[in-house]
């Protein structure tokens, strides 16, 4: 430009390759351009002494906007001039066209939809964007921005910011006194966008690595050189500046795990394999002695059938291993508790209707092995028909979140015996809060007679007299007006003693006693009454199933003694039943050969005679005999014989 402000030439850049706005040469040219324009317009402003404001921003004729407007209008790239407060002072056609395809914002790089990135891929601080920096007098060359349009499309752009002093924008433009920024925008094509996207992906990957605590590492199979970060060195109990090599790496691996690790390394270096290396192992800190668990996963790269590079990641899983150890310990304690508990512990899946767990006590209580009861339906089939509906309702309630305690009866599949069960049903909630599983603790309360007395007496005054005697003695008493009333609910009653008040003249008075005996219910009957001289009445009562007979008027002490004896016998019967069930369960666990040896022992055979009969050597018979004694839980042969007798095992013929 001449001293009077006339334009005497055009600044051009000509070359085989297109000029890039972020090249040092072009940046220098624009720096010169900004200075020349500022000096020129400042001179024009001083000579004119007034401001000529433009009525419209856009394609103004050169003589209306001055040289700066003319140059911006004809720049081959999208360009615009913007005031400090965000005013649009001037935009050229290329920028107007670009703005229609970018997010709605007055200033390129500012506002929603624009994200700037530094050279290392990190997100650029808004204060470091080209527009604010140009307002501060800095030149920003080719800053990369990702712009997202409302329709979801993305475009990579480069924005260059140039400062324009106040004097440069005053001639014919909107703002006369404030500085402005000249922004140049161009689309990014080819490998540059890909390169930046790669850096952005790497930045995201690094953020993910930091989030989960991964340690990337490398290994050169040829030289043995290792590339470890500070976090990985800390797993080996080393400071961040410590030297690491293969010897250091292998020295910290727990001796018990070292063979597995060496085998895994050899496998991943084998060209015939897939090169994958994945293993968990324990390390002992070299300097701190702390035991840690490491999980590592990586892959070997091969060239010409040789391993040339290995990259992988390592993660400290010490806390996870500790949690797993605690979980295993809890599971083991539960298993031992379940195996030794007299109660049946069970779990069921409500969706599949499968019984997922049954403790060993089911053999004793239900009389069948756990594999016989595989579903809720199998289990319901064992429940007494009169109680089945209430049990099904209980399962439904538990599925809705309730805890239910219910007593019901079962008909044991093995022998048809009725047993009374007290079951606690409870829901098991998943992590999401829903109930897919239920559990229960089933106790066999058949023999728990407690102190229950069932009084059957037609005379109200007599019933009250018995109640007045039994309550103070600590018994729980339930009254019935007739034998028929008791018979209707007998199967649902808990074990206890029945006091049956009868007269000899009642023809059907002993029917209920016979029914209770035939039904094998845990309800021993004590008959009290007047024989009216019939000496055979008491005998008939005993034959009908009564455990004792008292003539009225009875003495209170005699009645209490008879009740106590009946309940004691009931407890004894239950203990015998449990012993018989236990014996059957233990003998059922014997193998066929061991049972043959047991039958031979019951017949009085020796190791030699039993071996001769079974075609075995005496030494083999001795081994089977030891297993039999261990399974039955006895130490002597007489104890084994007694248990076999309880279970009904018969000896073999003559040996």
The separation between CA 581 and the C-alpha centre of its own chain, rounded to angstroms, equals 40
Global confidence as pTM: 0.39
Rounded distance between C-alpha atoms, residue 368 and residue 346, angstroms? 14
**Mean pLDDT in residue range 365-393:** 91
Cβ atoms 607, 625 nearer than 8 A: yes
Rounded distance between C-alpha atoms, residue 67 and residue 171, angstroms? 9
Cβ atoms 38, 165 nearer than 8 A: yes
- The 3-state DSSP class for residue 22 equals coil
Rounded distance between C-alpha atoms, residue 547 and residue 569, angstroms? 9
Q: How many CB atoms lie within 10 A of CB 483?
A: 24
Confidence (pLDDT) at 59 = 35
Cβ atoms 57, 93 nearer than 8 A: no
Rounded distance between C-alpha atoms, residue 222 and residue 301, angstroms? 12
Rounded distance between C-alpha atoms, residue 69 and residue 36, angstroms? 14
Backbone region of residue 394 per phi and psi (left: phi > 0; alpha: psi in -120 to 50; beta: other values): alpha
In the predicted structure, residue 653 carries a pLDDT above the cut 70? no
Structure tokens at 501: 């008040």
Cis peptide before 553 (omega within 30 of 0): yes
Helix (H) or strand (E) holding 610: helix 607-614
Cβ atoms 91, 79 nearer than 8 A: yes
Kindly state the percentage of the chain with pLDDT values over 70. Answer: 80
Closest by CA to 598, choosing from 630, 638, 640, is: 640
Cβ atoms 390, 408 nearer than 8 A: yes
Tell me how far apart the terminal alpha carbons of the chain are, to the nearest angstrom. Answer: 133
Look at the block and give the residue holding tokens 């309800």: 523
Q: Which of 53-62, 267-276, 358-367, 509-518 shows the lowest per-residue confidence on average (mean pLDDT)?
A: 53-62
Rounded distance between C-alpha atoms, residue 169 and residue 190, angstroms? 36
In sequence order, the 6+-apart residues with CB closer than 8 A to the CB of 507 are: none
Rounded distance between C-alpha atoms, residue 652 and residue 650, angstroms? 7
Structure tokens at 75: 């720049």
Looking at residue 129, the DSSP 8-state letter turns out to be S
Look at the block and give the residue holding tokens 């004590």: 526
Q: How many CB atoms lie within 10 A of CB 450?
A: 12
R_g over Cα of the chain = 48
Look at the block and give the residue holding tokens 């007593």: 407
Residue 47's pLDDT band (boundaries 50, 70, 90)? very low
Cβ atoms 91, 98 nearer than 8 A: no
Rounded distance between C-alpha atoms, residue 517 and residue 545, angstroms? 6
Return mean pLDDT, the chain.
Answer: 80
Q: Are strands 476-480 and 404-411 parallel, antiparallel or unpaired?
A: unpaired
Rounded distance between C-alpha atoms, residue 540 and residue 126, angstroms? 107
Interval 58-104: pLDDT, tens: 333 334 445 567 677 777 778 888 888 888 888 888 888 876 666 65
Confidence (pLDDT) at 638 = 85
- The 3-state DSSP class for residue 161 equals strand
Structure tokens at 543: 């034959």
Interval 162-176: pLDDT, tens: 887 654 454 444 443
**Mean pLDDT in residue range 547-552:** 88
| Residue spans of alpha helices (H) in 550-590 | 556-588
Cβ atoms 479, 545 nearer than 8 A: no
In sequence order, the 6+-apart residues with CB closer than 8 A to the CB of 268 are: 275, 276, 277, 298, 299, 300, 310
Q: Which domains does the chain have, with CATH numbers?
A: 24-198 (3.30.450.20), 213-321 (3.30.450.20), 341-444 (3.30.450.20), 452-559 (3.40.50.2300), 590-647 (1.10.10.10)
- Give me the count of residues in the chain: 655
CA 214-220-223 angle, to 5 degrees, is: 140
HEC readout, 72-103:
HHHCCCEEEEEECCCCEEEECHHHHHHHCCCC
Higher pLDDT, 327 or 16: 327
Q: What share of the chain is helix, strand, coil (3-state, %, to 5)?
A: 40, 25, 35
Detail the DSSP E strand segments found in 378-471.
Answer: 404-411, 418-429, 435-444, 452-456
In the predicted structure, residue 329 carries a pLDDT above the cut 90? no
Interval 188-226: pLDDT, tens: 765 455 555 556 555 555 665 666 678 889 999 988 899
Confidence (pLDDT) at 287 = 94
Residue 509's pLDDT band (boundaries 50, 70, 90)? low
Confidence (pLDDT) at 391 = 92
Interval 301-328: pLDDT, tens: 998 889 999 999 899 999 989 988 888 8
In sequence order, the 6+-apart residues with CB closer than 8 A to the CB of 439 are: 345, 346, 347, 348, 425, 426, 428
Cβ atoms 82, 88 nearer than 8 A: yes
Interval 593-615: pLDDT, tens: 988 888 888 888 888 998 888 88
Structure tokens at 327: 């979980």
Closest by CA to 428, choosing from 401, 397, 409, is: 401
Confidence (pLDDT) at 605 = 86
Confidence (pLDDT) at 203 = 59
φ, ψ (nearest 5 deg) of residue 51 = -105, 135
């Amino acid at each position: 430009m001449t001293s009077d402000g006339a334009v005497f030439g055009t600044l051009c850049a000509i070359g085989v390759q297109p000029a890039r706005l972020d090249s040092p040469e072009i940046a220098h040219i624009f720096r010169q351009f900004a200075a020349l324009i500022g000096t020129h317009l400042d001179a024009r402003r001083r000579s004119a002494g007034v401001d000529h404001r433009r009525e419209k921003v856009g394609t103004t004729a050169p003589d209306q906007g001055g040289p700066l407007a003319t140059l911006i209008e004809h720049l081959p790239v999208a360009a615009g001039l913007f005031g400090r407060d965000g005013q649009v002072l001037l935009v050229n056609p290329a920028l107007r066209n670009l703005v229609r395809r970018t997010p709605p914002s007055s200033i390129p790089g500012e506002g929603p939809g624009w994200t700037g990135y530094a050279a290392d891929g990190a997100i650029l601080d808004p204060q470091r964007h080209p527009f604010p920096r140009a307002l501060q007098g800095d030149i920003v060359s080719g800053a990369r921005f990702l712009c997202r349009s409302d329709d979801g499309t993305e475009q990579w752009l480069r924005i260059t910011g140039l400062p324009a002093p106040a004097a440069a924008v005053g001639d014919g433009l909107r703002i006369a006194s404030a500085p402005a920024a000249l922004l140049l925008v161009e689309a990014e094509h080819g490998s540059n966008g890909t390169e930046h996207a790669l850096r952005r992906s790497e930045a995201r990957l690094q953020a993910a690595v930091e989030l989960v605590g991964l340690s990337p590492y490398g290994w050169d199979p040829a030289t043995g050189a290792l590339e470890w970060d500070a976090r990985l060195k800390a797993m080996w109990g080393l400071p961040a500046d410590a030297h690491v090599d293969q010897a250091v790496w292998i020295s910290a691996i727990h001796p018990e795990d070292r063979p597995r690790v060496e085998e895994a390394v050899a496998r991943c270096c084998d060209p015939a394999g897939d090169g994958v290396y994945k293993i968990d192992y324990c390390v002992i800190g070299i300097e701190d002695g702390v035991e840690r668990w490491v999980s590592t996963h990586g892959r070997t790269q091969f060239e010409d059938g040789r391993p040339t590079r290995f990259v992988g990641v390592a993660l400290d899983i010490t806390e996870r291993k500790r949690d797993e150890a605690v979980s295993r310990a809890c599971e083991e304690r539960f298993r031992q508790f379940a195996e030794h508990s007299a109660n049946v512990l069970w779990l069921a899946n409500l969706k599949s209707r499968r019984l997922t767990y049954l403790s060993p006590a089911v053999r004793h209580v239900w009389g069948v092995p756990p594999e016989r009861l595989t579903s809720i339906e199998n289990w319901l089939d064992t429940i007494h028909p009169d109680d089945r509906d209430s049990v099904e309702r209980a399962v439904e309630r538990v599925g809705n979140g309730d805890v239910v305690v219910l007593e019901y009866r079962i008909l044991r599949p093995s022998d048809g015996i009725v047993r009374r069960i007290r079951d606690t049903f409870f829901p098991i909630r998943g992590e999401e809060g829903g109930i897919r599983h239920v559990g229960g603790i089933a106790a066999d309360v058949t023999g728990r007679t407690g102190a229950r007395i069932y009084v059957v007496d037609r005379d109200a005054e007599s019933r009250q007299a018995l109640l007045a005697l039994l309550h103070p003695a600590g018994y729980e008493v339930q009254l019935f007006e007739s034998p028929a009333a008791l018979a209707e609910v007998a199967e649902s009653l808990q074990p206890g003693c029945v006091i049956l008040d009868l007269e000899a003249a009642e023809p059907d008075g002993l029917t209920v006693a016979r029914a209770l005996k035939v039904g094998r219910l845990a309800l021993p009957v004590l008959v009290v009454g007047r024989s009216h001289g019939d000496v055979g009445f008491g005998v008939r009562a005993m034959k009908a199933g009564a455990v004792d007979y008292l003539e009225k008027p009875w003495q209170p002490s005699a009645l209490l003694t008879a009740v106590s004896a009946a309940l004691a016998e009931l407890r004894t019967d239950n203990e015998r039943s449990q012993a018989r069930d236990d014996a059957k369960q233990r003998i059922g666990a014997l193998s066929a050969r061991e049972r043959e040896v047991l039958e031979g022992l019951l017949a009085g055979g020796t190791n030699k005679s039993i071996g001769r009969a079974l075609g075995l050597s005496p030494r083999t018979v001795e081994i089977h005999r030891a297993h039999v004694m261990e399974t039955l839980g006895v130490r002597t042969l007489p104890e084994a014989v007694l248990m076999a007798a309880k279970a009904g095992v018969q000896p073999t013929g003559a040996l």
